[in-house]
């Protein structure tokens, strides 16, 4: 559900004074003072879209200066630390002035635009915006944000009115909504539609405000692809992708997501951690996966389910310490799984993974991944994890260590399953598939024996996975 803009009023409505009746006089009609309702000029503030959000980036303005707004209408797309969200207004009025341009960054609670209640107040609102603009931080951020897009020529300053058409015209020839291929700016519905229709958004030219991709753009590309042979359109689009490259020697500021990851990683260094590794035979798990893969089951869901069932027997490994003086035995087992997305990393959460059947869990996982890559996850879908999995096995990585996310007790790094020569109990040498897992844990709460016992339980579940399909 889209979020509502925080809007503050800058004017006040007059009210009638209370008149007292003098008891020494007879009833004399009291004079009636008419209430004059004044038009209001309101500041639109940067909303807090999650509990960890301290600042937001303006991805795109859906509306332009002077446009009439209706209550509940989407006005701006804001990038928080993990997702892009459409933000609505809960007032009728006119978008008088935009104070933070696209690409600009503003602190939560700072003004990003001015809303006038009537068309007559627009000029006054713009004067207020002009007087307050020097103190706004996004102005100083704008040149830094421009340097990110070094693969394409920087657009001219958006403040002068006559230059606006030129910006749109120039952008339309270089796929404005992709910002040189580094970022796709599209409405949430357009992103969802693109996933369903298998349309690559980097090949779509947006016709929405300032080149934003909207649903009809995706539908048009999908329709043309259906009528054109595969060799006709898709090949050139694929061939053009490698043209996007980095400029060696350039300094690129963090994106909002990268900034959030950076803060979390630095915070994690304050926690005393230790690591324990374990080798698990995966032949039985691989065999089960082959049998139920056709039913939509994913390996990520199987690993999450196995981990959750092991955590049921070892609740201390699912615990967390936040204040340094106590810890919490979490009542739910929510498995967060790290996913690499464009421009960063996010950990969608499979909630109550121990209680959900593997088929439902797999469907939920696919849904979360799609939402994560479209940057449409809601905060509760990536901030409620109690134990984290990071799997690089699909890249052929055999072992690695993971950094503990703040607020959790442990994270498990999963390597690739590889054939290995193993000595059997009867003294023979056999070939088995094995994988390495390494757990990083908060040593204030979890000790070596706790992890060793947990990993033994996990190995038993994976090596005899009958319980995973119950």
Indicate which residues carry an active-site annotation: 443
- List 7's β-bridge partners, or say none: 44
Instruction: Copy the structure tokens of residue 103.
Output: 């690409």
Measured between alpha carbons, how far apart are the two ends of the chain, in Å? 34
Instruction: Copy the structure tokens of residue 197.
Output: 């229709």
The Cα 76–Cα 88 span in angstroms is 7
Query: Do 116 and 94 contact (CB within 8 A), yes or no?
Result: yes
The Cα 439–Cα 427 span in angstroms is 31
């Amino acid at each position: 559900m889209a979020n509502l803009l925080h809007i503050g009023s800058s004017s006040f409505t007059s009210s009638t004074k209370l008149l007292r009746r003098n008891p020494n006089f007879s009833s004399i009609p009291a004079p009636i003072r008419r209430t004059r309702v004044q038009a209001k000029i309101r500041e639109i503030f940067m909303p807090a879209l999650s509990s960890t959000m301290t600042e937001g980036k303006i991805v795109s303005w859906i509306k332009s200066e002077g446009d009439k707004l209706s209550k509940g209408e989407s006005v701006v797309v804001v990038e928080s630390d993990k997702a892009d969200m459409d933000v609505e207004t809960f007032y009728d009025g006119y978008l008088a002035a935009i104070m933070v341009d696209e690409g600009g960054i503003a602190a939560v609670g700072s003004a990003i635009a001015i809303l006038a209640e009537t068309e007559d107040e627009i000029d006054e609102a713009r004067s207020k915006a002009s007087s307050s603009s020097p103190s706004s931080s996004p102005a100083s951020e704008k040149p830094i944000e421009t340097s990110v897009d070094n693969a394409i020529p920087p657009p001219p300053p958006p403040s002068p009115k006559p230059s606006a058409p030129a910006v749109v015209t120039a952008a339309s020839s270089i796929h404005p909504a992709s910002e040189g291929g580094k970022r796709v700016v599209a409405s949430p519905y357009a992103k969802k539609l693109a996933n369903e229709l298998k349309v690559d958004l980097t090949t779509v030219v947006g016709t929405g405000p300032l080149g934003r991709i909207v649903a009809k753009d995706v539908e048009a590309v999908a329709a043309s692809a259906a009528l054109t042979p595969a060799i006709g359109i898709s090949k050139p689009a694929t061939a053009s992708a490698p043209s996007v490259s980095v400029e060696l020697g350039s300094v690129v500021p963090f994106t909002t997501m990268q900034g959030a990851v950076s803060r979390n990683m630095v915070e994690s260094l304050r926690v005393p951690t230790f690591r324990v590794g374990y080798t698990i035979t995966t032949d039985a798990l691989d065999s089960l996966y082959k049998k139920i893969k056709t039913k939509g089951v994913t390996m990520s869901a199987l690993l999450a389910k196995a981990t959750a069932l092991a955590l049921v027997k070892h609740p201390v490994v699912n615990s967390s310490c936040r204040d340094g003086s106590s810890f919490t035995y979490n009542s739910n087992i929510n498995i967060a799984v790290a996913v690499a997305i464009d421009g960063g990393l996010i950990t969608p959460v499979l909630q109550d993974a121990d209680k959900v059947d593997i088929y439902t869990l797999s469907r939920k996982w696919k849904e979360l991944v799609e939402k994560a890559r479209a940057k449409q996850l809601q905060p509760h879908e990536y901030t409620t994890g109690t134990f984290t999995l990071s799997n690089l096995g699909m890249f052929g990585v055999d072992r690695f260590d993971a950094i503990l996310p703040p607020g959790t007790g442990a994270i498990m790094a999963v390597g690739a399953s590889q054939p290995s020569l193993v000595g059997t109990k009867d003294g023979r040498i056999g070939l088995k598939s094995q994988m390495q897992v390494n757990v990083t844990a908060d040593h204030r709460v979890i000790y070596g024996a706790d992890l060793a016992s947990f990993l033994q339980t996990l190995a038993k579940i994976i090596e005899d996975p009958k319980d995973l399909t119950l």
